[in-house]
Amino acid sequence: MPPQHASPGSGGDRTTRPGADEELIAALRRGEADAFRMLVEEHGPFLTRLALMHVPSRAIAEEVVQDTWLAALNGLDRFEGRSSLRTWLASIVLNKARTQGQRERRVLPFSFLARRRAEGRNEPAVDPDRFQSGRDQQPGAWARPPVEWASPEERLSSDEARRVLLEAIAELPPRQREVITLRDVSGLSAAETCNALDLTETNQRVLLHRARSKVRAALERHFQAEDPSR
Amino acid sequence: MTETLIPEMSCQELVELVTAYLDGALPAADVTRLEHHLEGCDGCRAYIDQMRQTIAALGHLPPESLTAEARERLMGAFAAWRDEGRGR
């Protein structure tokens, strides 16, 4: 059985318009407002989501996104087409949002800083208590294995599950939050994500794995609370 | 006979390799060990299913919206950028 690649869903912020970037950029250089409007429609929601990871309000996120567009327009000549336009815009908005977020950080609660420090530590994907220890019969085997979720598709698309997902993402350390938002929420490839965040492939995968593991654990806790008999 | 030469993968080891496995980035020997383990382990099959379901659910979160005001402000900023450039 070959590994099934995680396939991004149909919703979200993603776009599939290969080859269209160059044409749109040429139209921008000619000053065509329609081309800009199209780009805003296509990438605006994605950029807003990325900005919101680092700044505390929608109003600030919208300012960061506007600054991003202006920086991109003024830097069109620096866009080399080696990455996609979307990846390039993502790296600009993230730089601006991180900087803006640092300015706001003076007033952020202690828990934020604690999460930031936790990022570098060795974090197991699953609580070690759920596995048998060296004293048991089969060390490293499940002691408390996960149980299949009942009707997962239905339950995972509920408003309640979406709230759990968004909260779990918000709780992640910043780099993990960026990687899971780019890869799994917005559907960027591993290569695009490495490009936008200037990460090595290995680092990207470690951050993504930690992030996904925590989000899965949050869903598991949520479903267990909903259905304690299982 | 050769099977005994392949070290068994434990559940605790497997849960650390799921993202590499789903990305197709796991070395072939580890893929073999992982899939061999899955055949006999309900817990790990449930775990990988839940990771796949988590990834799918993340991909179906509703997109952020762009307010009409924000869109108009952007169009205004674009017009100003264009006019500035042409005036030079």
Mutation for A interface: B22, B32, B55, B67, most A CBs within 10 A = B55
Nearest-CA distance B1 → chain A (Å): 22
Please report residues of A whose CB lies closer than 8 A to that of B53.
Answer: 149, 152-153, 156
Does the pLDDT at position A141 exceed 90? yes
Does the pLDDT at position A118 exceed 80? no
Residue contact A6–B22, C-beta within 8 A: yes
The pLDDT assigned to B5 comes to 60
Q: Which residues of B70-84 are buried (b: 16+ CB within 10 A; e: fewer)?
A: beeebeebbeebbee
The pLDDT assigned to A3 comes to 46
Residue contact A70–B81, C-beta within 8 A: yes
Give the mean pLDDT of A79-107.
86
Task: Please report, for residues A67, A132, A195, B44, the alpha-carbon distance to residue A182 in angstroms, rounded to integers and kept in the order given.
Answer: 20, 35, 11, 27
Please report residues of A whose CB lies closer than 8 A to that of B42.
Answer: 145
Measured on CA atoms in the order A84, A87, A93, A98, is the torsion positive or negative?
negative
Give the mean pLDDT of A212-216.
98
Q: Which of B50, B62, B67 sits opposite A149 (nearest CB)?
A: B50
State how far the Cα of A96 lies from the Cα of A92, in Å rounded to an integer: 6
Residue contact A162–B23, C-beta within 8 A: no
Regions of chain B with pLDDT less than 50 = 1-3, 87-88
Give the mean pLDDT of A95-99.
95
Of all residues in chain A, the percent with pLDDT exceeding 90 is 69
Does the pLDDT at position A193 exceed 60? yes
| ipTM value | 0.89
pLDDT band at A16 (very low <50, low <70, confident <90, very high): very low
Task: Enumerate the β-bridge partners of residue A131.
Answer: A142
The pLDDT assigned to A180 comes to 98
Exposed, middle or buried, B22 (CB in 10 Å: 0-12/13-18/19+)?
buried
Angle between helices B42-59 and A201-226 (to 10 degrees): 100
Nearest to A119 by CA among A55, A178, A33, A164: A178
Residue contact B63–A45, C-beta within 8 A: yes
- Cβ proximity of B51 and A1 under 8 Å: no
Nearest-CA distance A168 → chain B (Å): 11
The pLDDT assigned to A109 comes to 56
Per-residue model confidence as pLDDT tens digits over B19-34: 999 999 999 999 999 9
pLDDT band at A122 (very low <50, low <70, confident <90, very high): confident
Residue contact A66–B77, C-beta within 8 A: yes
The three-state secondary structure class of A131 is strand
State how far the Cα of A11 lies from the Cα of A185, in Å rounded to an integer: 9
Instruction: Determine the residue type at A177.
Output: R
pLDDT band at A9 (very low <50, low <70, confident <90, very high): very low
Of all residues in chain A, the percent with pLDDT exceeding 70 is 83
Q: What is the residue-averaged pLDDT of chain A?
A: 86
pLDDT band at A77 (very low <50, low <70, confident <90, very high): confident
Q: First and final CA of chain B: distance in angstroms?
A: 79
